[in-house]
Amino acid sequence: MQIFNYEINEILESCTSILPPAHLAVAVDILAILDKEGYVSSIYNKFPQSRATGTTSTHSILAKISLRDHSIHVARKFQAMVDHRQLLYPLGIIACLAHDIGKIPRICNQLPGEYTMTKHARAGAVAMERLIDGRLTTREALAVILAIRHHHDCNTNASPILDLLRRADCEARDDELIGLFRGEA
């Protein structure tokens, strides 16, 4: 097993005895990408200063959270919500860790066009399709890829994994914002 920083080792340790081998291998590969390239901001912020007041926006504040840290926070929130014995647990962990992987410039720039809220989700889904290919069942891969692809698409009918990913993402963002206001991050 690779040696990562403390937070990645901690999340990995919590999954090692729970995830089936194929799922664990995918999670390790996602964590390796996050460890190497996940130090970019977890927020794309086109307008760092609010035009109306000149104050710093919530997005600018959250931009201080790295993609790696945010992804780990989301996975931890998911772990707190779902019993590890549930069948969707391994897929949810993978989806949570990878949900914003399309924000990594190397991955996002593989799709043409300007950055949009959904571009990173599409880019992440494409990247995960390649990473998962042949490692999980077709049904499992599709569940993860669709959750990543649609985590910002409110018009998409939710699956249990997508519902939980959205909840975990929102709760992680709330905690990150509170922590930054308190000076904990």
Residue 1 lies in a domain: no
Residue 57 lies in a domain: yes
Which pLDDT score is estimated for 128? 97
Residue 15 lies in a domain: yes
Residue 45 lies in a domain: yes
Task: Write out pLDDT tens, residues 31-48.
Answer: 999 999 988 888 875 544
Which pLDDT score is estimated for 184? 59
Give the C-alpha separation, 1 to 35, whole Å.
14
- How many structural domains is the chain composed of? 1
Task: Write out pLDDT tens, residues 40-83.
Answer: 888 875 544 444 444 556 777 778 899 999 999 999 999 999 98
Q: What is the CATH number of the domain that holds 149?
A: 1.10.3210
Residue 129 lies in a domain: yes
Task: Write out pLDDT tens, residues 96-145.
Answer: 999 999 999 999 999 998 888 789 999 999 999 999 999 999 999 999 99
pLDDT at 167 over 50: yes
Q: Domain range for residue 168?
A: 6-182
Residue 144 lies in a domain: yes
